Amino acid sequence: MPRMPASTDSAAFAIRAAEPRDLDAIVRLIGRLAEFEHLSHLVQATPEKLGPHLFGPRPVAEALVVDSGAQVVGFALFFTNFSTFLARPGLYLEDLFVEPEQRGRGIGKALLTRLAELAAERGCGRFEWSVLDWNADAIRFYERMGATVMPEWRICRIAGDTLAAYGAGRGGG
């Protein structure tokens, strides 16, 4: 994926596909995102854990990073999902984060725009993500970009000990 230079002020930034050398920065930004969402206690990501899933023989996710100067100041991690109704793949944005001091420069909008372009280029029928209901600023931002917030949908999750119980044949209550 080519570098995408962008600038909405005097300091330029560039969006590019993540590389293995970016793992430390991505994990650092995941930690910052978790702090913002008050979920630091859930973070288990390390470069060693994340690396195989982004760059191993069978990657299951991709990431874009944002360079500003000599540092990575933002990232977006995404993967392909599938819509049975559309019978087409989709692109799902798992996480997007921009350092607070870098916000207001158009970085978040540029990341979302690039991901929407990728979804269209790949023939996806949807580009989706979740947002915490208390994050009113993000919701307004996404709506201004043309996203529809779907309040009638809820996320369901099986994880941790419950998921492990299924793996051991003890799930299903």
pLDDT at residue 8, as a whole number: 44
Between CA 66 and CA 145 the distance in angstroms is 19
Q: Flag whether 37 is in a domain.
A: yes
Q: What is the CATH number of the domain that holds 46?
A: 3.40.630.30
Q: Flag whether 42 is in a domain.
A: yes
pLDDT tens-place values along the chain, 173 residues long:
544 555 444 469 999 999 999 999 999 999 999 999 999 999 999 999 999 999 999 999 999 999 998 999 999 999 999 999 999 999 999 999 999 999 999 999 999 999 999 999 999 999 999 999 999 999 999 999 999 999 899 889 898 899 999 999 888 76
Q: Which of 142, 143, 151, 170 is flagged as catalytic?
A: 142
CA angle 105, 70, 4 (to 5 degrees): 55
Q: Are 111 and 93 in contact (CB under 8 A)?
A: no
Q: State the pTM of this model.
A: 0.89
Q: Flag whether 119 is in a domain.
A: yes
Any catalytic annotation for residue 142? yes
Q: Which domain holds residue 122?
A: 4-129
Nearest to 54 by CA among 83, 94, 15: 94
pLDDT at residue 173, as a whole number: 62
pLDDT at residue 9, as a whole number: 46
Three-state DSSP string of 25-38: HHHHHHHHHHHHCC
Partners of 90 in beta bridges = 81, 126
Helix (H, G, I), strand (E, B) or coil at 133: coil
Number of structural domains the chain divides into: 1
